[in-house]
Structure 1
Amino acid sequence: MLALVLLRGSPVVEPSTVGSCAEVQRIELSLSSEATREVCISPGLMTGFLFDAPVVVELQDEVRFEEVVRGRQLLTLLPPQDMVSGERLRFVVHFGGGVAQGSIAFTLVAHSGRATHQVEVFRDKRTRESFQQEVEQERAKNRQLREDNRRLRARFERIRELGSLVANEAVGIHGIQAKELDPKAFSELGGILYFDRGLSYRGESTIAAEIWLRNSGSEPWTTVGGTLIDSDGEELTGLKIRQEEAIVSDRASVVIVEANAKRTQARGYLKLKLWDEGLRVVTFPRMMFP
């Protein structure tokens, strides 16, 4: 039976080096270097480890974890709710039930709203079934990318209708200004949706924002309403919300909002609230437009 032992030492917080946070991560210990043995975890999201041999695990700060499920070749973790982005926890895996059979160390790196769901660890070469499973997953991912590309092309075709923008006086001598939204302004959002990336825009009589949001819950999110409040506490008129697909669990999708505002209006921080049909609310308190 797999044993769990608390490692001594304080957790380390530093800038994260895990970039992709793939849903499935496969590690061949005979081929990987020490630098590649990092795994994304996130509060509220489960991460499971599958080993190709019985193991004994020593986990740092195990008492902080929300849930730890153990088996002879399995380890499933639900990270601590108080983990902050960049925090790192260490655990050591002993194969064959003891140090003499070989050990390997991993680092769990905390991210906001992003986590690797499954980690497959192989002492030697991967099995044929593992490669076949990865091929099927890549095919499914490519199909999804092609569908996303089709939707983006359709949206860009609508954007190209410059004549309608001119006719509606949305474009003037200053053109359309754009500004990249600062992720730091959304770092403390938490809750159901997490900010992934975004842009804000300003025309002659309107402002708009294109926000990519990631869903940390299990239920899909479809925006049905919202408000945009300026720095004086006034609600902007003519708010329009566009969302072409529901935001499903652990996937980023775009929500576009637009409201009436002259160039001299809607300056400083604006507060955007969005809600779904279940009246779940997410608030963006520091929206800025060009």
Structure 2
Amino acid sequence: MLLSILVLVLPQGAFLLQPPTAAACNEMQRIELALTPATAAWEICVSPGLMTNFVFDAPVKVDLQDEVRFLEVTQGRSTLNLLPPPDLMRGERIRLSVLLGDEVNQQRVTFSLVAHPDRATHQVEVYRDQRSRDSLRQELAQEQATNQNLRDELGQTRDRLEQLRIKLAQSGGLRDLIATGAISSFNIQFQELKKEKFAPPEEVITYEWGNGYRSDNTIAAEVWLVNSSSEPWTATTGALVDAHGRELTGLKIRQDHPIAPNSRGSVIVEADARRSEGRGELTLSLRDESARGITIPGLAFP
């Protein structure tokens, strides 16, 4: 019996056995090294006259089998552009070895360039993400949980804002005075602050007239002042001191508008004081940011 064995050897490439079946010849191929089962070599479809470009997510060093046969081999820091040989035969395989990454953390990857007569993968994207699939799933779950927490916090903030809006709409007038205990059976007492008790006329800020008020927990004064300087005046700090030099706590100042030059305007001050406190003559001082201001002695609250 005569046994004949015929083997065809390619002049420059690998043995030609049969057309490749693993090379899909997609327009673009994405390879994730950490998520793809290890193989001897990833197959990449190439064809004479058609360019195939590799894009890596790290710097690369390339070793291409039969590089001199290729019409073009252009390598960048993390890219590789190949124009295969014109004599490439169907099914021929050429090895491409890539050292991916820096010297501290390198990974060797092998590709098999598989010849196809008229189809090629134009771009190959290679990622070496070191995280496992479980790690990626865990990260995704954490991001989803964080986003849910943010949505919950946003909803709670909206609820609080709505409650504040309702509360603000209901605030004002006698309702607040009753709710805060500022008004009681003693009512709010009022007393005019006499002009003759006050201020040297040479001051740039002078006193015109005012009113004093007392509730169960605070005393307040609305004073009308004249600004004889050339600049607007706004009270920023102040103090209310009794005859013994003790300063009342919790002083608050309200001035809706600056007092223009050669004009008058009002300033309202309020300080903590029970009905037994803040008695006798008190001294009110008010200053702006430049320390310009007025000292008003002899204030007697009701």
TM-score of the superposed pair, with normalisation by structure 2: 0.42
Q: TM-score, normalised by structure 1?
A: 0.44
Structure whose alpha-carbon radius of gyration is higher: 2
